[in-house]
Amino acid sequence: MEMTLARGNRPVLLLLGTLAIACSACQRSNEPVATDAPPVADAVTLVHGGHFYTFDEANTVVDAGAMAFSSNGEILAIGEVEPMRKRFTNARQIDLDGRAVLPGLIDSHGHLFGLAVSLSQANLVGTASKAEVVERLQAFAVDLQPDEWLLGRGWDQNDWPEQEFPSRTDLDAAFPERPVWLRRIDGHAAWGNSMALAQADRDLAGAWQPQGGMIHRDAGGEPTGIFIDQAMGLVDGAVPPPSDELVDGALDLAVDTLVSLGLTGVHDPGVGRGIIERYRRKIAAGRLPVRVYAMADGPGATLDWLCSNGPLEDVSGFLVARSVKLYADGALGSRGAALLADYRDDPGNRGLLFSSDEDLEAQMQRALSCGLQLGIHAIGDRANRQVLDAFEHLLPQYPGNPGRHRIEHAQILDPADIERFAALGVIAAMQPTHATSDMYWAGERLGPDRLGGAYAWRSLLQQGARLAFGSDFPVEEVNPLLGIHAAITRQDLEGWPPGGWLPTERLDRAQAIRAFTLDAAFAAFMEHEVGSLEVGKRADFIVLERDVMKVPAEQIPGVRVLQTWVDGRRVYER
């Protein structure tokens, strides 16, 4: 059963039957509340015989433990098996067979909607050459209409022999008639063929460049087909939106992927109101089994909407929007990250700041004055400094704002800026697999003497900052165990480099998992609901085939998730 109640002046969905109601999120309403709500069943579930890593503040571990939770998904007790069995004699019992149990993992920077879209496009991840890109595109195009756009994502010129940006002519021979438009793996560059360029919003001829972006041009001034950051919008605007059915089906596939990998929550950075409404429809249909923390897409209409209506907290407990994602710069791989000194492999280039200090602060002030959280993308050391300076300047002016602001990525920091995260209360929302993806070439971009604050997880923790970990999927793979592995080894899956890349920044397992659980929950103001297994919290947990706190580190990526539970419901079983 489903109905709409008014809360304030905006509708919220109240779901009965399909999803339990987290009543800590309920508020009084002027509208009549349903009087035919079914009585809450007193059925209790007891999962027992597991090895429980609670990740509470004391990191309590219960060997041969049990956990009881109510039918509405609230944890009632955790303890030794026998006393728990006596206490909950009538409970539905589930034997965990000695497996390790962890709180549900939370990806604090995963593009859920982006994953859905990428699942509906040609997958170019892992291509070893431009020829392989064309082959995959040709196979994908078989199902398309003759004039339909061919969209793809995931190419990375660093994986190809020549390690250079491709050009439109690489695509024109195979696709003379059809527009082709392909996102780079990091989402910060796109590659189009001549047909795609011909449909750009503006005549590309001349020497002009857009603000915060770059059109690559050849010696004659012609666009090569590569567009960096804000320049991508020139062609993006011409791409027809995917059909509703396509996106809807892909979103189901995306959330199924998440729960199969042990994710019970995701912070989706940079989504518009339309996507938020789409998530609401999925909740209404009982098809959103992960908790989504939606971060609005910049200083536009979605921010205005949140400002006029206040933060959105769906009573289901599965959708919260109270945060805004802004951008300070681009990415390191495409040399769009703003650096304090030149790129070592591109003298004269220091990357791109998206906005002047004044413009960035104006954007931030809009969100701060509305009581919203900021999550600001900053990768280069110059961008991180710009954002930290802005926080330092602005935060004292908004004492009523609840804070917990975040820098998304925080990849390259000047060592002098590391301590400023803790001092300003800014959360470092980082992605461990970015380090192990970038370690092959980050030194070429920066030079060895500028790596002191690169992907500096341990330094940030030691200087008192809080880490919230994620993957940035679909830029990286969804599997959070890959992130935990990267965080504790700083090695790739082949064990390279021996001892780990910049190994002083490795974390221990508990630190890495905390950043994927309780501290990720904190970064979304959800630490009283989820992120650890404690009485009164939601029963979001996973059961693992093997114990990731004990197996050799190199085996962690291969550990399989056997069960995923959200709100006391089993949403995945292997």
Upstream peptide bond of 498 is cis (omega within 30 degrees of 0): no
Least CB distance to Zn ion at residue 118 (A): 12
The span of 223-231, 254-262, 472-480, 502-510 binding Zn ion (CB under 5 A) equals 472-480
**Cβ within 8 Å of residue 396, ≥6 positions away:** none
Among 297, 314, 472, 567, binds Zn ion (CB under 5 A): 472
- What are the strands, taking DSSP E only, across 218-358? 223-229, 263-271, 291-297, 312-313, 319-327
Least CB distance to Zn ion at residue 317 (A): 24
| CB of 103 or CB of 270, closer to Zn ion | 270
Least CB distance to Zn ion at residue 291 (A): 18
Is the distance from CB of 400 to CB of 420 less than 8 angstroms? no
Looking at 143-188, list the stretches that DSSP marks H as alpha helix, in order from N- to C-terminal side.
169-172
Phi, psi of 84 (to 5 degrees): -65, -40
357-369 vs 381-394: helix crossing angle, rounded to 10 = 50
The span of 3-11, 28-36, 64-72, 471-479 binding Zn ion (CB under 5 A) equals 471-479
- Of 14-73, which residues contact Zn ion (CB under 5 A)? none
Least CB distance to Zn ion at residue 83 (A): 46
- 438 forms part of the interface with Zn ion (CB under 5 A): no
Is the CA virtual torsion 75, 77, 81, 85 positive or negative? negative
| CB of 334 or CB of 564, closer to Zn ion | 334
Q: Under DSSP, is residue 371 helix (H, G, I), strand (E, B) or coil?
A: coil
Size, binding site for Zn ion by CB under 5 A = 1
Is the CA virtual torsion 523, 528, 534, 537 positive or negative? negative
Least CB distance to Zn ion at residue 217 (A): 27
- Of 210-239, which residues contact Zn ion (CB under 5 A)? none
| CB of 329 or CB of 472, closer to Zn ion | 472
The span of 260-268, 467-475, 499-507, 566-574 binding Zn ion (CB under 5 A) equals 467-475
User: Can you tell me the distance from the alpha carbon of 123 to that of 137, in angstroms, rounded to the nearest whole number?
Assistant: 8
User: Can you tell me the distance from the alpha carbon of 51 to that of 549, in angstroms, rounded to the nearest whole number?
Assistant: 11
Q: Under DSSP, is residue 558 helix (H, G, I), strand (E, B) or coil?
A: helix
| CB of 472 or CB of 529, closer to Zn ion | 472
Least CB distance to Zn ion at residue 161 (A): 28
The span of 16-24, 236-244, 352-360, 469-477 binding Zn ion (CB under 5 A) equals 469-477
Upstream peptide bond of 474 is cis (omega within 30 degrees of 0): yes
Q: Under DSSP, is residue 501 helix (H, G, I), strand (E, B) or coil?
A: coil
Least CB distance to Zn ion at residue 95 (A): 40
| CB of 335 or CB of 506, closer to Zn ion | 335
- 477 forms part of the interface with Zn ion (CB under 5 A): no
Is the CA virtual torsion 262, 267, 271, 274 positive or negative? positive
| CB of 414 or CB of 472, closer to Zn ion | 472
Is the distance from CB of 461 to CB of 472 less than 8 angstroms? no
- 268 forms part of the interface with Zn ion (CB under 5 A): no
Q: Which two tokens stand for residue 56?
A: 């509470």
| CB of 74 or CB of 472, closer to Zn ion | 472
Least CB distance to Zn ion at residue 523 (A): 14
| CB of 168 or CB of 406, closer to Zn ion | 406
Least CB distance to Zn ion at residue 475 (A): 6
Residues contributing to the site for Zn ion (CB under 5 A): 472
